[in-house]
Chains A and B, each alone.
Chain A
Amino acid sequence: MFDIERWQEIFETLRKNKLRTFLTGLSVASGIFILVILLGFSKGIENGVTSQFQRDATNLITVWTGTTTKSYKGLNPGRYIQLKNEDYYAVSRKYDDYIDYKSSLYSIWGGTISYKNETGNYQIRGVMPDHQFIENADIGVGRFVNQSDFDEFKKVAVIGNKLKKDLFKDEDPIDKNISIYGMNFKVIGVFYDPGGEREESQAYIPVSTAQKVFNAGDNIRNMLFTIKMADNFEEAVELSKNISQNVEADLKQMHTVAPDDTSAVRVFNTLEEAKKIYSLIGTIQAVFWFVGIGTIIAGIVGVGNIMLIIVKERTKEIGIRKALGALPMSIVGMILQEAVFVTMFAGLFGLIFGLGLLEIIGPQIQSDFIKYPQVNFNIALTTVFLLVLAGALAGFFPAYRAAKIKPIIALRDE
């Protein structure tokens, strides 16, 4: 292996057979390169879809209402069902054991918010302290709405990063007063949301304050609950589904709504949606793996094939070398060393080239669905070794055979 003379002989052979060396190298390098890019984008899509999805807690139950469409117990259809604080408390009490975070909501869709000369229309959401965790909101500066804000109807607001940029530019917004419909609210925090700009152009205020300043009494618009995750994803889906069905039934009963009226009380369960998306990610990954493994197999077959042809083409040379006194093992060793050297070199080249390209292209990708394409380095390296091994194996058997037969037979090969 460390025989310098042998290496010299090999390099000379490679140099004098440039086309053969180049084609072998190219097939290995391009195989690895394609695989790296493929795996990179597979991971990128997974990252993209997951982060799209992560903007909300994954086991969220959302409740909202509409008008009845069916007459029930003597009540006419077309009745608007209004959720109240007591509904929220009743549900959260009943399912307390299963609930992680909970919040009731009172939102204003387009509220005018202004600071100094800057004015804009933003969604204003009255929420409870837990809402921070339900939305996965990331507090960059300051803090979120807390219990005492809620208890004492404080006029405080947590604003989204987009909203902050619109109104405050580079100014520090903390403890400044913004005006919501002419009422002064003190900014206590700025949040970021992985969901993007749309989520970040909102302002959160305590729901109690919202009910008060918007004269909503004890009306609420939504209730949000996150359910504790079970160990097993399937179980979690099942649990969330049961709870949402029960909550729906309870609320319908409390508001005298027909059990089969689908528009008066609606309960939306993200975990069931998650299941669909997760299985989508799974499918995408399966497809990439399938294509990836196909590429590896094609690479292995290709390299094997090339080695077979090379050794076949060199049968006569092997005969000559033997006639001049080469030992069979030195011939096999030479051919293998050459094959391993070329495939390894080309494989690593393809690997580095692919990784480099991902490094350069990755950050440029603007799509929401592909993020940080990256490659599991070990998988890529393992593939390189697989190809090297395949080349070596495919070279070994014909080389061994050609080196074992009587020289005269190898010499007769044309």
Chain B
Amino acid sequence: MVLLFTRNSLVLKSSKKTILTVTFPFLNSLIYCTEFRFLTISYDKRVIVLANFTINNHHHMIQIKDLHKSYQMGNNSLHVLKGINFNVKEGEMVSIMGSSGSGKSTLLNILGILDEADSGSYILDGVSIKNLNEKVAANYRNKFLGFIFQSFNLINYKSALDNVAMPLYYQGVKRKERIEKAEYYLEKVGLSAWSHHLPNELSGGQKQRVAIARALASNPKVLLADEPTGALDSKTSQEVMELIQGINDEGKTILMVTHEHDIAQMTKRIVHIKDGLIIDDNPVEQVRASLYV
């Protein structure tokens, strides 16, 4: 039930939350309310009161139920994910840990709609990700998800700048604006001076930062990072983590795979995977990366 007050009079009473989301999209995260509470906020000089709702301004961005994935190799089948269950709320920052080969990348690829699960459900922002048509999938990859690959995956004949601008090309952004935005994000990762270098003229850490800038350029809601600090020394790692924390501060949901405990401590929640199952899922006291620098 949604009750909407303006200047102390009830203007809207609805059992459908969609009315609010459509009228005031910025309230999107406010709708997923669970407790009885009053909220008074100011919007456009009017006062809107949401009544009878508890504000829990984190709705589930990612919901995974009983996810299975096997790899087929000839006659052998390798069962990698054996029933993963977990939810991630909007604005969370989660690290996924586990030994090598435990299926972390496999899981992240499925979350990034780069791969498909064999069974189980994956709901992204309220939409079931199953048998999506190519157009919808492309749209999600383009605008909603940012992916940072373990192996960077930069286009080797394009400069750092053009690599960063690539997702914007597929968003239909005009060339001039594309370049401007890409420059902005390259600066954010501290690579302005390298913008015209090809990937093979960059160090591993620099490539990683180009990949981060590219993932950020499309301004995604969810950032998926597969060992974003894997190729970096500890100092650069702190810098990159500071960057990622900053992005999280802006409200973006972040999932990252890491092997390093001190890096995991910089997130807000650690999920442990072993033999294709989540064995441990705990919140952590976030350590700000800026403390190290």
Contact = CB atoms under 8 A, between A and B. Distances in A.
B115 interface: yes
Interface in B96-120: 109, 112, 114-116
Given A322-B138, A324-B142, A5 B175 contact: yes
A324 B157 contact: no
Contacts of B109: 408
Contacts of A321: 155, 166, 170
A324 B167 contact: yes
Given A17-B157, A321-B166, A408-B109, A326 B138 contact: yes
A325 B142 CA distance: 4
A329 to B, nearest CB: 8
Interface in B120-156: 134-135, 138-139, 141-143, 147, 149, 153-155
Give the interface residue-count category, chain A.
20 to 34
Given A320-B153, A324-B167, A406 B138 contact: no
B158 interface: yes
B114 A408 contact: yes
B234 interface: no
Interface string B169-187: 1110011000000000000
Contacts of A408: 109, 114-115
A5 B142 contact: no
B153 A411 contact: yes
A320 B155 contact: yes
Contacts of A5: 169, 174-175
Given A406-B114, A407-B114, A325 B171 contact: yes
Interface string A270-311: 000000000000000000000000000000000000000000
A108 interface: no
Nearest to A329: B134
Contacts of A316: 153
A323 B139 contact: no
A323 B153 contact: yes
Given A5-B175, A8-B175, A9-B169, A323 B157 contact: no
A170 B169 CA distance: 77
B195 interface: no
B114 A323 contact: yes
Contact of A12 (B112, B114, B141, B162): B162
Contact of B141 (A13, A317, A324): A324
B218 interface: yes
Interface in A2-46: 5, 8-9, 12-13, 16-17
A325 B174 contact: no
Interface in B37-62: none
Interface in B153-211: 153-155, 157-158, 162, 166-167, 169-171, 174-175
Contacts of B143: 325
B112 A323 contact: yes
Interface residues of B, number: 29
Most chain B beta-carbon neighbours within 10 Å: one of A12, A316, A325: A325
A55 B139 CA distance: 76
A347 interface: no
A108 to B, nearest CB: 83
A321 B166 CA distance: 8
Contacts of A411: 114, 149, 153
B25 to A, nearest CB: 22
A413 B135 CA distance: 23
Contacts of A324: 141-142, 166-167, 170, 214, 218
A325 B138 contact: yes
A312 to B, nearest CB: 15
A126 interface: no
B141 A325 contact: yes
Contacts of B157: 13, 16-17
A408 B169 CA distance: 21
Contact of A323 (B134, B141, B171): B141
Interface string B69-89: 000000000000000000000
Nearest to A410: B114
A407 B134 CA distance: 11
A325 B167 contact: yes
A9 to B, nearest CB: 7
B162 A325 contact: no
A348 to B, nearest CB: 26
Given A16-B158, A406-B116, A411-B114, A325 B153 contact: no
A381 to B, nearest CB: 33
A183 interface: no
A321 B141 CA distance: 10
A139 B208 CA distance: 87
B214 to A, nearest CB: 8
A407 B135 CA distance: 14
Interface string A327-345: 1101000000000000000
Given A17-B157, A321-B170, A323-B114, 10 more contacts: A5-B169, A13-B157, A320-B153, A322-B138, A322-B141, A324-B141, A325-B167, A325-B218, A327-B134, A407-B141
22 contacts: A5-B174, A8-B175, A9-B169, A17-B157, A320-B154, A321-B155, A322-B141, A323-B112, A323-B114, A324-B141, A324-B166, A324-B167, A326-B138, A327-B135, A327-B138, A330-B170, A406-B114, A407-B141, A408-B114, A408-B115, A411-B114, A411-B149
5 A-B pairs with the lowest CB-CB distances in the bound complex, closest first: A325-B142, A408-B115, A16-B157, A325-B170, A408-B114
